[in-house]
Chains A and B, each alone.
Chain A
């Protein structure tokens, strides 16, 4: 009898919850939410947060190497912002994790165990100053498209964090574009840096938005996130938006895109393109990308080497 009552209450709660998000209300950290919603948010936001943190590592290499004082200042500010985004997002994730008594420490352990994934682009190598520019221009450009899609997210704390993050990402994309423009207007070698970067990163940029449907990699969270109004557009719609925004810009600078089949089909109003190797997403998820292990090992290194600092700062148990 009690069980039945609880179930009824649960169903009613769920209906109320759905009605709230349908009405455009924001869900807050202490509000009741279905497990599926909480679980989806935890996965999404902790992955987003940890990706920001892991994303600082490929660019870090180029912070000291940036070729002028202004570029040094620019990239320092950018990497600091990314870390700040990571911190903001992990705080949002930590609130969601409370009912499970899990903390940031647990998220770090999940990362080291390979349970918490980070975005495919941050498994790649940043080989040159051209890559440092391209990451800002196109990777952050792609991130803006994917994140603005969630600005209206039904979960209030995430939506508010994204407001700030997206505003800063716009600066990052401008910072990246400025680096690329300087190289594009420069010597043959400098232009080659950009072309090599485009060739190297193109597939990763397409993978970044995720598979069009479940059938490419076996799973996809996009249906659930749309159902709960965490996002509005599908992966494919976002990828199409990326093409519409950047293909012309890349070509107008005189660079080529490593896909001879890429074209805009007027009839269907869609971009036709060579499908990336979707299997690579699984490779990255297993932390077997070109730089996955190096990045994890840097993160682990910092975590282990500074254990004494965390202990020294921990509140004393008397």
Chain B
């Protein structure tokens, strides 16, 4: 056992949560490549997924610098039970495989992406005053890109819900209903959450969640949705290593080539 201070542990936990969230979120986005509703959207969302993978890489590299091991190993070589991402982010885009008969739901993509990007924006804003300076610096950079991501997904959310198109509205409502029950997992800070707050790394779960609700309520109201926003962790808390089979499968794909020879240079 290494003799780590509580602060070191809390910093690493937080970095793992941030990294794993973006890593799996980017993967779900990349599965949409070539399948988005139109070509312009394909280019835009591919760019967002790429930025998001870039954010994950930055967090893994910070962990690398803290002695947690090689960034590529952290990204590719940790089993599902060691992953800290929120469960809502690992769920499949829909039935089928990204190369064969994908039955993906754009409404679910829009809702999950908008909710997550708004939540990420609030967390990143909070990280501006993080007592761990390298993370506060990273937050500045991430926020610049996040501005556009949020604008993008908010536009989709409002356009589809405000379209008056029956199928679009009903699909979007169903997607909201599918996303809410697990969405609180994004705000969970895991077992070292209290320490993170005490050490001034990030604001507490309840504060972050409240800010998120404040941010999305006017958007809900603008499209005539009742702002009864109730989120939960129906399938468990990913921060504590609870995950679904969807993550296991995703990790297998993400690490297929890496795992074929872990010692090789790629």
A residues contacting B by CB (< 8 A) are 53, 56-57, 60-73, 76-77, 79-80, 83-84, 86-87, 90, 129, 182-183, 185-187, 189-190, 294, 297-299, 301-302, 305-306, 308-313, 316
Contact = CB atoms under 8 A, between A and B. Distances in A.
Contact of A83 (B42, B75, B163, B264): B42
Contact of B56 (A69, A90, A302, A306): A69
Nearest to B162: A312
A313 B34 contact: no
Contacts of B103: 305
Given A60-B34, A64-B31, A310-B38, 19 more contacts: A60-B33, A60-B99, A64-B98, A64-B253, A65-B256, A69-B71, A69-B72, A73-B50, A79-B46, A83-B39, A185-B265, A186-B265, A187-B261, A187-B264, A189-B260, A190-B264, A294-B99, A306-B36, A309-B37
B175 interface: no
26 contacts: A53-B34, A60-B30, A60-B34, A61-B99, A63-B30, A65-B256, A68-B72, A69-B57, A70-B57, A71-B266, A73-B53, A76-B49, A80-B47, A86-B39, A87-B43, A129-B257, A182-B265, A294-B99, A299-B34, A301-B101, A305-B35, A306-B38, A308-B168, A311-B167, A312-B159, A312-B165
B243 to A, nearest CB: 17
A278 to B, nearest CB: 29
B57 A73 contact: yes
Contact of A80 (B46, B102, B256, B266): B46
B171 interface: yes
Interface of B: 27, 30-31, 33-40, 42-43, 46-47, 49-50, 53-54, 56-57, 60, 71-72, 75-76, 98-104, 106, 159-160, 163-165, 167-168, 171, 250, 253-254, 256-258, 260-261, 264-266
Nearest to A76: B50
Nearest to A53: B39
Contact of B37 (A53, A80, A299, A310): A310
A64 B256 CA distance: 9
A6 to B, nearest CB: 39
Contact of A67 (B38, B76, B164): B76
A183 B266 CA distance: 6
Contact of A309 (B53, B76, B160): B160
Contacts of B50: 73, 76-77, 80
Which of B46, B57, B75 neighbours the largest number of chain A CB atoms within 10 Å of its CB? B46
A183 B163 CA distance: 50
Contacts of A67: 72, 76, 257-258, 266
Contacts of A190: 261, 264
Given A53-B34, A298-B34, A312 B71 contact: no
Contacts of B98: 60-61, 64
A308 B171 contact: yes
A306 B109 CA distance: 12
Nearest to A309: B37
B257 A83 contact: no
Nearest to A71: B266
A48 B42 CA distance: 18
A85 to B, nearest CB: 10
B160 A294 contact: no
A171 to B, nearest CB: 14
A187 B40 CA distance: 40
A81 B121 CA distance: 26
Contacts of B35: 298, 301-302, 305-306
A83 B159 CA distance: 24
